[in-house]
Amino acid sequence: MANANGDAAPEREDICQVLARIVRAIEALKPGQAERVQDPLRRNLLKKA
């Protein structure tokens, strides 16, 4: 959402910051999880290429 000045609404920025914090917390709790998810995705993309 944008306010009258065309800037992003502050609550929208807060939500983005909260989501980013949650993602970082999950990554910290599950080291290597992102790699395990990315590897099969990479293989599937390479097969299709």
Could you tell me if 27 and 36 are in contact, meaning their C-beta atoms sit under 8 angstroms apart? no
Residue 3, domain member (yes or no): no
Average pLDDT, 10 consecutive residues per value, the chain (49 residues): 59 81 81 67 75
Range of the domain at 18: 10-48
Residue 34, domain member (yes or no): yes
Q: How far apart are CA 49 and CA 46, in angstroms?
A: 5
Residue 5, domain member (yes or no): no
Residue 16, domain member (yes or no): yes
Residue 4, domain member (yes or no): no
Query: What is the DSSP annotation of 4-39?
Result: TTSPBPHHHHHHHHHHHHHHHHHHHHSTTHHHHHHH
Residue 22's pLDDT is 86
**Domain total in the chain:** 1
